[in-house]
Amino acid sequence: MRLRSVSVVAFVALVTGCGDSGGETIEVSRADLPCQMQSAQGIWESAPLPPITDDQCLWFLFRANNTYVFEHTLGRVPFEVTGYIAFNSNGMGSTPASGNAFLVDAADDSTITLRNAQNQDFWLRLVLE
């Protein structure tokens, strides 16, 4: 009987998306984010807020079930990591990212590792402080 319980738990974990996502790990260099910027106050942003008038400054495509290693210019470990997600590349109608759509796996003085563990693609704007 105990074996059956374990099997049910494993099935529920598989159906709900727990465990290995099977996705890729993708490195995102600063060159991949042509409109990334850092303020004098030490806030790094991957892209501007909407409205976006330059097609090169669109938000980053944050594909489902993938892990991303973003290169940043803070020169220190960020003390705050904020993501905004939208269903379109210009960020209109965005919302703060949360839950399995925006998991912070690691951070250091030059990179941050994020994971989209949802089965949904989003467009991402990343802000590091």
Model confidence at 52, pLDDT cuts 50, 70, 90, reads very high
Give me 33's structure tokens: 């984010």
pLDDT in tens, 79-114: 999 999 999 999 999 999 999 999 999 999 999 999
Q: Number of C-alpha atoms within 13 angstroms, CB side, residue 98? A: 3
Read off the pLDDT of each residue in 21-49 and give the average, rounded to a whole number: 94
Write the DSSP symbol of residue 112. Answer: E
pLDDT of residue 15: 40
Model confidence at 57: pLDDT above 90: yes
For the chain, domains (ranges, CATH) are: 21-128 (2.60.40)
Mean pLDDT of the chain: 88
